[in-house]
Structures are given as C-alpha cells and as structure tokens.
Amino acid sequence: MKTKKALLIVDVQNDFCPGGSLAIKEGNDIVPVINELMDKVDVVITTQDWHPEGSTHFEDWPVHCVADTKGSELNPKLNKQKIDQKVLKGTRDDNPGYSAFDATNISLEDYLKEQDVGSLYVVGLATDYCVRASALDALKLGFHTYVVTDAIAAVNLKEGDGKKALQEMYKAGGILIEAKDV
C-alpha cells in the first residue's frame, strides 16, 4: 500500500498573485498557510505554468507565466527550501497544461508512485482551473485526494466558478479539508 503524503502546490506564481498579469486577489494570503502545510507531509511538489512566448493559450487568457520570466517564478514568500520536486506544465502549444499531471519535465504520476505517495493534498491557484484539473486527474489515477479549502483561491471569471469547482471535486471523491485538520 502506498503510504506517503504529498503536498501538491499548484501555480503559486507571481503572475497569479497581486501585481501579476492574471492576479488572484487572495494569491499572497494562502502562502503562509501553504508554508505551514509543508511540515505536515512527506513530499512537497510545486507546479509552474511555463508557457512559450506567443502561445495560442494566450488567445484565451492574458499573457501570463511565460517561461523564464519574473511572472513565472514562484511567489517569493513561498518556502523554497522544502520543495522536493518542481513540475513544469503548459510548456507546449498542444496542451494548455491546466493539470499537474500534464507536466512535461517529468511524469508526475510516475514520480508519485516512485515516492510511494498514496495521499495528495492539493493547494494553490486557481481553484476553478489548475487546482480543479489536477485534483480531478489525481482522483482518476486513484490517489486519496484532499483539497485544502483555505489554501486555494479562484479566478471566478464568472461568479461562483470557484464554488462550482469545489462541488465537482467533492462529487468526484475529493475530500475538502481545512489546513488545521491536515
């Protein structure tokens, strides 16, 4: 039986935080909560949206998280020392890379299996896009998947998108939990 717990920190990058090109209001507020969670797990993984310049993905979104720019860097307040594995996604034009399992620098599924991870705690940005897609894929792949509700934030292009995504993840078998209960 896979026994280890992993924290999957989705896209806590400058462009998704206040001051960034696709800023989510609460982007900075979740960082201290995430830093504390790092001590409660065995493996810490970060994902980064990592788009080529001129990506067709930018027909749907403002230009954001272009590879090797300030905007694609992790939030400076995130504790980098505890990161075991970085994952890059959205690196090619044929896939928007919403899900951490679409990463191209490694296979996240293989990595988690090698590390003996059975449970994933998903946190980060944004609830209605990359958190949602990553959690739904984790559930499909059979991981015990927790979504830490006070360590995520939504874009909410349409009002209620974040809530809808939470319901979807719950219905698919995701466990909604608060950071204090991890």
Q: At closest approach, how far in Å is the CB of 125 from ligand VGL? A: 5
Q: At closest approach, how far in Å is the CB of 98 from ligand VGL? A: 6
Cβ-Cβ contacts under 8 Å for 132 (sequence gap 6 or more) = 98, 165, 168, 169
32: three-class secondary structure by DSSP? helix
Phi, psi of 13 (to 5 degrees): -115, 155
Phi, psi of 99 (to 5 degrees): -95, 140
Q: Which residue, 62 or 142, has its beta carbon nearer to ligand VGL? A: 62
Q: Which positions lie near ligand VGL, rule CB under 6 A? A: 11, 16, 22, 49, 61, 125-126, 129-130, 155
Q: At closest approach, how far in Å is the CB of 147 from ligand VGL? A: 13
Catalytic pick among 15, 65, 89, 137 = 89
Looking at residue 127, what DSSP letter applies?
Answer: I
Q: Which residue, 43 or 128, has its beta carbon nearer to ligand VGL? A: 128
Residue 130: active-site member:
yes
Q: Output the DSSP codes for 48-88.
A: EE-BPTT-GGGGTS-S--BTTSGGGSBPTTS-GGG--EEEE
Provide the token pair at 1: 């039986």
Q: Which residue, 115 or 156, has its beta carbon nearer to ligand VGL? A: 156
103: three-class secondary structure by DSSP? coil
Catalytic pick among 17, 128, 130, 137 = 130
Q: Which residue, 22 or 120, has its beta carbon nearer to ligand VGL? A: 22
Residue 89: active-site member:
yes
Q: At closest approach, how far in Å is the CB of 123 from ligand VGL? A: 12
Which residues are part of the catalytic machinery? 11, 89, 130
